[in-house]
Amino acid sequence: MKPKEVSEFLASRHSTRDFLSKPVPQSVIDEVIADGLTSPSWSNTRPIMVAVATGEVRDRISAEFMARWEIVAPIRSSKWGQFKLLFTRRGLPTSNPLVAKPYVPALLPRAQKIGAALFSHLGIDRKDREARDAAWARNYEFFGAPVELFILTHTSLGKFSANDAGMFVMNLMLGAHARGLGTCAQGALSIYDDIVRSEFDVPEGYELLYGVALGYPSDDKANSFAAPRFAPADITVPLKP
């Protein structure tokens, strides 16, 4: 492959946020996981695991995520609602509370920009909280994907495990893309690890990083959204003056 072709292929991947219910054969799931495993890894330790949710397991996990979101969504911004959550605990994060926290000022404008662009593309008014919540809730339906991959990392290597997981997921996403499949990383799913643990026998030392929806993209409008790409200069550290 020529460099230009590689660049074009990389640029042609976008997150998929609406999937057909068409099942993904187990052999294809295995192939994309094998592609993921071509990534580099810290001392080749591969401090990662994947829990593959399909069929009834996928449906039960999705239903429980949705049930908790339905408790949290209507009450999350009222003081009384927050008190109630603390009291009943159902709906409180069981892992990665970061998801529910605001962005730091250095990153907030970027997050707001992509959120605004996606909502505008979907025809959602930013002031329409119900529509925004419904869009967010699609995360818990895995955007209709028949496969959800839960990515787990070994806690002992800290950020290096997360780094390995990210590189694994990237190669997996590209392998999926090459086969006409779509993917979407889902930090939204990192919040309730107990749901994943209730279905999978997760070995000691592993924690949930995030989910990745996998399936065949539909022709829904959500999938024609192209997130703007940054320029190299946007992330290049300047020399000291």
Ligand X SMILES: Cc1cc2nc3c(=O)[nH]c(=O)nc-3n(C[C@H](O)[C@H](O)[C@H](O)COP(=O)(O)O)c2cc1C
Spatial distance between the Cα atoms of 146 and 185, rounded to a whole number of angstroms: 14
Among the listed ranges 10-18, 31-39, 43-51, 214-222, the one in contact with ligand X (CB under 6 A) is 10-18
**Residue 15 near ligand X by CB under 6 A:** yes
Among the listed ranges 25-33, 125-133, 156-164, 178-186, the one in contact with ligand X (CB under 6 A) is 178-186
Percentages (nearest 5) of helix, strand, coil residues in the chain: 55, 15, 35
**Side chain identity at residue 179, one-letter code:** R
Cβ–Cβ under 8 Å, residues 149 and 50: yes
**Angle, CA of 194, 146 and 174, to the nearest 5°:** 95
Least distance to ligand X, CB of residue 61, Å? 15
**Residue 132 near ligand X by CB under 6 A:** no
Spatial distance between the Cα atoms of 211 and 185, rounded to a whole number of angstroms: 6
Element (H, E) at 177: helix 158-178
Our CB check for ligand X shows the closer of 95 and 186 to be 186
Least distance to ligand X, CB of residue 192, Å? 13
Rounded to 5 degrees, φ, ψ at 211 are -110, 160
**Residue 134 near ligand X by CB under 6 A:** no
Among the listed residues 168, 210, 214, 223, the single contact to ligand X using CB under 6 A:
210
**Residue 142 near ligand X by CB under 6 A:** no
**Residue 174 near ligand X by CB under 6 A:** no
Cβ–Cβ under 8 Å, residues 203 and 152: no
Question: How many chain residues are in contact with ligand X, going by CB under 6 A?
Answer: 12
Among the listed residues 39, 95, 139, 153, the single contact to ligand X using CB under 6 A:
139
**Which residues are near ligand X by CB under 6 A?**
14-15, 17, 114, 139, 184-188, 210, 227
